[in-house]
Amino acid sequence: MKTKDILLAVAALLTFAVVFYACKNPGEGVTININTNVLKSPTAVQFVNAVKNAPNQPDDFPVTIGGKDADKVVTITNKTQFNAVDGRIFLALKKGVVPSEANPVVFTVAAEVAGFTPATKTFRITSEAPSATVVPLIEYANPVPGTTAVVENNPIVGGVTPTVITIETPTNPGMEEQATITIPAGTEFRDAAGNLINATSLESRVVQFGTDSPEALAAFPGGFDVANITGENGQPIEGGVAFITAGFIAMDMYAGGTEVKNFSKPIEVSMGVSPEVTNPETGTAVKAGDQVPVWSLDDKTGQWKYESEATIVKDAQGNLTASFSATHLSYWNLDWYSTFCPNTTTITYSMPGYVTEQYQVELVSSNGYVSYSYPTLTDGVKYVQRLPTGNFKIVVRNPINNVVIVETPSFNGCGGNVTVNFPAKNDLDIVNVALSLQGTCPNKPLNTNIDSHALVYEKGKPRSQGTTVYVKLGKLNLQLKNNTEYVVEAQYGDTWKTANIAFKKQDFSFPGTVSGTATYDQGTNTVNVLAQFRLPDCN
Amino acid sequence: MFLLLFSGGLLFAQDLPADSTKKSVSDSLSYLEKSSIQLHGGTQGFGISARYAFLPMLSGRLGGSFGSVKISEGIEFDNLSSDNTLKAELSNLHLWAEFSPLSWLRINAGAGYFFKLKAKAVTVPNESITQDGITLEPEEIGSLTTEVSYKKFAPYFGLGLGRGIPKHRFNVNFDIGTYYLSSPHVTMTGTEYLEDNSHNGPILERNMRDYRWLPVLQLNLSFKLSKS
């Protein structure tokens, strides 16, 4: 019996141990990572002077978000006051907005920057992926090659033209076409509310964009891929259109400092048309007698509107011109158009040995469509893009000197996939960098939810040539040149931190207060960096 | 195997010639007297097993168990107010040896082969989170799934209280013991804003590295195959 008691006691003890063991919480000390980066589709917009390395760059200015989905856009810090700082603004989609190809989010970013043409860029967001867009602006005092600008003052009386005013854009070596604007005598200038502006002087700012210069076409306001457009019947053209331009003019007028929005009489605009332009309807060079639709753009909303049809004529000097009447001031454009392919095309850039940076990418269609952009390319990067129907080639140029790096054979824009193979190159010691970024706070677990834009550029080069990258959940892969000094500007919340990094693959040194480890893997030619920094806000 | 041997014995008895029938029947009865089957229920689930006494103090026992259990709030996390439900599933085939130093006491040792031995906890936040003016409701935050699994073989040892083979036709007896499992493998996956939590799998695994004892507290209802 004694043995039995002992055994029962052992059994009771074992039972107690089992119950105690079962009650222990295995989650003790485990910190659940809650990604509070709720805003999707982070979009970096950088406004730059369209002239490369121009000393005068867009600085700080307010930005307007317009278009049908404007209410779905916030700043990257979830604000609805939009201001560019150092020419940059970072946007995102509001919580809960899920963009897709079937349900794109379309909005327009517009800004008026002193000394530059009004900026406008329409975005069509179809995924949650981050993106970075460069918006080139034309400086009146230093227009980019392929454009011509004039700022002219004329006297008026009580807001009315006493005589005919004629404004003519000058020619220059990069722009042989001219535009002439004729304002009839007795024309009243009115503000946005339709009221006569009682002023004694009229300032006219006109920029004409030609069709022969990549820089001019890259600065085409709003871009050539148009999402919001109403056609000849006044109805929206579903799916948007791709413009094939014959020329473009931006007109702004100020009566006594007040912006003019309307006239009592139409003004006449005559625009020179380059004989190099191909009429997509005939497939041949444009000629007298051809007709081209005229469109206007509301730069605040990104809304294009069909206005009229212009007939191209040959003047006494043998130059081709197209004329139309303008009833309001905005952007006026001569464009044919084509529709987009029903499916998207994935463009892969194979460019081992090339540094990650901005390149000039031209999409050239056999039907005359040309699009220029300045994306940041890195080896293996894929872009999913909606292309207009037709056969295309892609031309990639050095954005500084316009030298062609690669030109693809012709491919069907609706074909699905295309790879752009850069020529072999090994003169640069390009190193892959796999960065893991962690934020630290005293007595708190590491924060790996670092989502941030950063601008990277070589020390000594203009920051306008910088590459905007996005750190997602603390991870970033990029490529740097060995033994090169870089400047890195990183955004955290509303603040920016700048650091200089002397990049050496075998001896990576952390800047300032950043600490961590870096190891170079020769097999993969990758520096694996684990960097930690003190978070500015530990709350 | 034990069952096969057991049933094999019965079949062998049926095939014997007539002059040896008496001895065979006697042998069969002897087998039956040394055998019992039992239904059991406890922490390793419900099941059935058969026992055969090779020697007066030594028996073999072969059985299977199946069970599942749901536990609320099985795992809690410091920085996430949440509800969770842990569901554990188990099925095994076990073979134990029983040594009976006393008539009411058995010392058991053996092993189990676990066809299924896993636990899954689904954690769902129950409070909203606000940051930078953005509020995420609990249902928007996502969920965490923690899965725990073990290797299939595990040794067992324990005690049995009460006769393994009933004195009469039936009895009730108990087992108390434990399987010694492999160290568990733990994974954590998240959805939505909890997606990036796979690194917590190894941390939980470390926390649970001593979770190797699978206790067995079991009530057995035994039935002797022979009346005598």
Last residue of a domain, one of A425, A440, A463: A425
A378 pLDDT higher than 90: no
pLDDT surpasses 90 at A271:
yes
Is B16 among the domain residues? no
What CATH number does residue B63 fall under? 2.40.160.170
* CATH code of the domain covering residue A45: 2.60.40
In terms of domains, do A312 and A268 share one? Answer: yes
Q: Is the pLDDT of residue A23 over 60?
A: no
- Per-residue confidence band for B27, with pLDDT thresholds at 50, 70 and 90: low
Asked, for residue A15, whether it belongs to a domain, the answer is no
B214: closest CA of chain A, how far (Å): 9
* Confidence category of residue B24, pLDDT binned at 50, 70, 90: low
Torsion, Cα of B1, B4, B9, B11 (10° steps): -170
**Last residue in a domain, options A394, A425, A456:** A425
Residue B166 has pLDDT above 50, yes or no: yes
- Over residues B54-84, the pLDDT tens digits come to 998 999 999 999 998 887 777 888 788 889 8
Distance CA A211, CA A196 (A): 36
Whether chain A has a CB inside 8 Å of the CB on B217: the answer is: yes
Residue of A nearest to B175 (CA): A11
Which of A130-139, A412-421, A461-470, B216-225 shows the lowest per-residue confidence on average (mean pLDDT)?
Answer: A461-470
Confidence at residue A18, expressed as pLDDT on a 0 to 100 scale: 54
In this structure, the answer to whether residues A40 and A183 fall within a common structural domain is: no
Could you report the per-residue pLDDT of B197-220, keeping only the tens digit for each? 888 899 899 888 888 888 899 999
CB under 8 Å to A16, separation ≥6 — which residues? Answer: none
pLDDT at A4 over 70: no
Domains held by chain A: number: 4
Bridge partners of A302, per DSSP, are none
Q: Answer whether residue A7 is part of any domain.
A: no
- A477, A383: one domain: no
- Over residues A416-442, the pLDDT tens digits come to 899 999 999 888 888 989 988 888 877
pLDDT above 90 coverage of chain B, percent: 48
A313 and A206 in one domain?
yes
pLDDT at B124 over 70: yes
Interface A-B: count of C-beta contacts within 8 A: 95
* Within-domain flag for B80: yes
Q: Which of A178, A182, A183 is nearest to A208 (CA)?
A: A178
Give yes or no: residues A117 and A189 share one domain: no
Q: Is residue B68 part of a domain?
A: yes
Select the residue of A25, A35, A448 nearest B193 (Cβ to Cβ): A35
pLDDT, mean of residues A160-179: 91
Confidence tier at A335 by pLDDT (50, 70, 90): very high
Cβ neighbours of residue A176 under 8 Å, at least 6 residues apart? Answer: A210, A272, A274
Beta-carbon contacts of residue B74 (< 8 Å; ≥ 6 apart) = B84, B85, B86, B119, B121
Domain boundary among A362, A392, A425: A425
Range of the domain at A391: 341-425
ipTM: 0.75
Q: pLDDT at position A348, please? A: 95
pLDDT, residue B11, reads 30
In this prediction, residue B211 carries a pLDDT of 87
The answer as to whether B14 is a domain residue is no
CA dist., res. A438 & res. A475, Å (int): 9
pLDDT at A292 over 50: yes
- Co-location of A129 and A183 in the same domain: no
Same domain, A307 and A347: no
Query: Is a pLDDT exceeding 50 seen at residue B8?
Result: no
Q: Residue A8 domain-assigned? A: no
Q: Tens of pLDDT along A94-128?
A: 988 999 988 999 999 999 899 998 888 889 899 98
Where does B164-219 have alpha helices with state H? Answer: 200-207
Domain membership of residue B78 as a residue range: 38-224
DSSP assigned state of A17: H
- Record: contact B215-A449, CB cut-off 8 A: no
| A405 compared with B11, residue with greater pLDDT | A405
| Contact yes or no for A26/B208 (Cβ under 8 A) | yes
The answer as to whether A478 is a domain residue is: yes
Q: Which has more pLDDT, B11 or B25?
A: B25
Q: Are residues A361 and A419 in the same domain?
A: yes
Q: What confidence category does residue A174 fall into, taking pLDDT thresholds of 50, 70 and 90?
A: confident
Residue of A nearest to B174 (CA): A11
Q: Is B226 a residue whose pLDDT tops 50?
A: yes
- Residue A418 resides in a domain: yes
Q: Is the pLDDT of residue A20 over 60?
A: no
Q: Which residues contact A401 (CB under 8 A, 6 or more apart)?
A: none
Statement to judge: residues A371 and A239 lie in one domain: no
Q: Return the pLDDT at B228.
A: 58
Residue A10: pLDDT band (50, 70, 90) is low
Q: A294 and A186 in one domain?
A: yes
Where residue A307 sits, what CATH number does that domain have?
Answer: 2.60.220
pLDDT for A199 beyond 70: yes
| Average pLDDT of span A332-345 | 91
Distance CA B80, CA A31 (A): 8
Per-residue pLDDT at B76: 81
Provide the mean pLDDT of chain B.
Answer: 83
Residue A242 has pLDDT above 80, yes or no: yes
Question: What's residue A409's pLDDT?
Answer: 94
In a domain, B197, yes or no: yes
A12 domain-assigned: no
Residue A22 has a pLDDT of 52
Residues A414 and A438 in one domain: no
- Chain A closest-CA separation from residue B170 CA (Å): 22
- Among the residue ranges A79-83, A234-238, A296-300, the one predicted with the least confidence is A296-300
The pLDDT of residue A439: 81
Of all residues in chain A, what percent are helix, strand and coil, respectively (each to 5)?
5, 50, 45
> How far does chain B reach from its first CA to its final CA, in angstroms?
26
pLDDT at A455 over 90: no
Contact: B77, A27; criterion CB under 8 Å: yes
B159 touches chain A (CB under 8 A): yes
The residue ranking higher by pLDDT, A281 or B131, is: A281
pLDDT value for B29: 55
Mean pLDDT computed over every residue of chain A: 87
Q: Is residue A140 part of a domain?
A: no
Q: Does A11 score more than 70 pLDDT?
A: no
Residues 2-31 of A with CB under 8 A from B: 3-4, 7, 10-11, 14-15, 18, 21-22, 25-31
Q: Which of B99, B124, B126, B176 to mutate to test the interface with A (most CBs of A within 10 A)?
A: B176
Which of chain A's residues have a Cβ under 8 Å away from the Cβ of B204? 26-27, 30
With CA atoms as reference, report the closest residue to A255 among A203, A193, A207, A206. Answer: A203
**Within 10 Å of residue A135's Cβ, how many Cβ atoms?**
24
pLDDT at B152 over 90: yes
Q: Is B107 on the interface with A (CB under 8 A)?
A: no
B10 located within any domain: no
Residue A466 has pLDDT above 50, yes or no: yes
* Shortest CA gap A385–chain B (Å): 27
User: Is A258 domain-assigned?
Assistant: yes
- Total domains present in chain B: 1
pLDDT of res. B6 = 27
Residue B15: which pLDDT band, with cuts at 50, 70 and 90? very low
Buried b / exposed e over B116-136, threshold 16 CB at 10 Å, is: ebebbbbbbbeeebeeeebeb
* Beta-carbon separation of B104 and A4 below 8 A: yes
Neighbours of A112 (CB within 10 A): 17
Binned at pLDDT 50, 70 and 90, residue A52 comes out as confident
